[in-house]
Amino acid sequence: MITLRKSCDRGYADHGWLKSFHSFSFADYFDPKHMGWGNLRVINEDRVAPGTGFGTHGHRDMEIISYVLEGELAHRDSIGANDGQGGNSGVIRPGDVQRMSAGRGVRHSEYNHAAAATTHFLQIWIEPDQTGVDPSYEQKRFESADKRGRLRLVASRDGRDGSVRIHADAALYAGLFDGAESAELALDPARKSYVHLVRGELSVNGETLRGGDAALLAGESRVTLAGGRDAEVLVFDLAA
């Protein structure tokens, strides 16, 4: 079974400095029909205005993945002390995947320090299969060539194939498709899958998706991607 979730049907919030589309219920957006899919809980498509960002705030027992599409996102958290100021810090850019395991509790901030450029990124939350773990983060870069015409594993429970490791029964793939490029991914019909088209146009199991659209799959044995037009896509293999 495949169900489409159109971009225009998502929740939306405009806070001035932040414009955000919510694929699932989040903050002031609540829809009991869209509380998550499997153990995928949040996909927020955020645009952060120049010189603004998320001030220091806390999370607990959630696997949080940041995937930057345009611009840069400066990150600081309360884990460790490698920067001399009581936490890790760094910058996430297009091509980077950052995983933060909130575990028993972490505080962090995210800022767009650019003077004239908006930061466009996806904020993804996956429910962990372990609670109370030590908070940690990991960041890796995946070049466009590694995603061109294929699905590149970027996050997984065991960190295989150079992916970032998450404390969750899930795997996340990223791909770039255009023209005749295509790919297939075998699925366990007892699990769920979620396909989020970041941008462009793409056929997913024969259904046409456009930027911001998603396909929710259940009971399917594979996902087939084809007919891309400047498409960037994320595919989630999820616990049911």
pLDDT digit string, tens, across residues 11-22:
999 999 999 999
Parallel, antiparallel or unpaired: strands 136-141 and 119-126: unpaired
pLDDT digit string, tens, across residues 123-169:
999 999 999 999 998 999 999 999 999 999 999 999 999 999 999 99
**Predicted local confidence at residue 81, as pLDDT:** 44
Distance separating alpha carbons of residues 233 and 86, to the nearest angstrom: 36
Residue 70 has pLDDT above 80, yes or no: yes
Three-class secondary structure of residue 162 per DSSP: helix
Residue 88 has pLDDT above 80, yes or no: no
Which residues form the domain of 173? 2-238
What average pLDDT score do residues 74-95 get? 73
Residue 82 has pLDDT above 80, yes or no: no
**Predicted local confidence at residue 76, as pLDDT:** 85
What average pLDDT score do residues 56-78 get? 92
More confident residue, 107 or 206: 206
Domain count within the chain? 1
Residue 225 has pLDDT above 80, yes or no: yes
Give the start-end residues of each E strand in the chain: 2-5, 11-14, 18-22, 40-48, 52-59, 63-70, 73-77, 89-92, 96-101, 106-112, 119-126, 136-141, 151-156, 164-165, 170-177, 183-186, 192-204, 207-210, 214-218, 222-238
Structure tokens at 210: 């456009």
Element (H, E) at 146: helix 144-147
Residue 85 has pLDDT above 60, yes or no: no
Three-class secondary structure of residue 99 per DSSP: strand
**Predicted local confidence at residue 204, as pLDDT:** 98
Q: For residue 132, give the CATH number of its domain.
A: 2.60.120.10
Structure tokens at 138: 């990991």
Residue 232's closest CA among 154, 144, 155?
144
Residue 80 has pLDDT above 80, yes or no: no
Q: Can you tell me which residue has the tokens 């450029």?
A: 117
Q: Is the dihedral angle over the CA atoms 124, 132, 34, 188 positive or is it negative? A: positive
In the predicted model, what is the mean pLDDT of the chain?
Answer: 94
Give Cα 185 distance to the centre of its chain: 18
pLDDT digit string, tens, across residues 139-152:
999 999 999 999 99
Residue 240's closest CA among 169, 164, 184?
169
